[in-house]
A and B are shown apart, each in its own frame.
Chain A
Amino acid sequence: DAGVTQSPTHLIKTRGQHVTLRCSPISGHKSVSWYQQVLGQGPQFIFQYYEKEERGRGNFPDRFSARQFPNYSSELNVNALLLGDSALYLCASSLVGLADYNEQFFGPGTRLTVL
Chain B
Amino acid sequence: QKEVEQNSGPLSVPEGAIASLNCTYSDRGSQSFFWYRQYSGKSPELIMSIYSNGDKEDGRFTAQLNKASQYVSLLIRDSQPSDSATYLCAVLSYSGYALNFGKGTSLLVTP
Contacts and interface: CB of A to CB of B under 8 A. Distances in A.
Contacts of A43: 44, 88, 99, 101
Interface string B28-71: 00011010100000111110010100000000000000000000
Interface residues of B, number: 27
B39 to A, nearest CB: 12
Nearest to B88: A42
A99 interface: yes
A106 B43 contact: yes
29 contacts: A31-B97, A33-B99, A42-B4, A42-B101, A42-B103, A42-B104, A43-B99, A45-B93, A45-B100, A48-B98, A56-B95, A58-B98, A59-B1, A88-B43, A90-B43, A90-B44, A98-B97, A100-B31, A100-B96, A102-B32, A102-B97, A103-B34, A103-B49, A104-B34, A104-B99, A106-B36, A108-B42, A108-B43, A109-B43
Given A31-B97, A43-B99, 20 more contacts: A33-B98, A42-B102, A42-B103, A45-B93, A45-B100, A48-B98, A50-B97, A56-B95, A56-B97, A58-B98, A90-B43, A100-B51, A102-B92, A102-B97, A103-B49, A104-B34, A106-B36, A106-B43, A107-B43, A109-B43
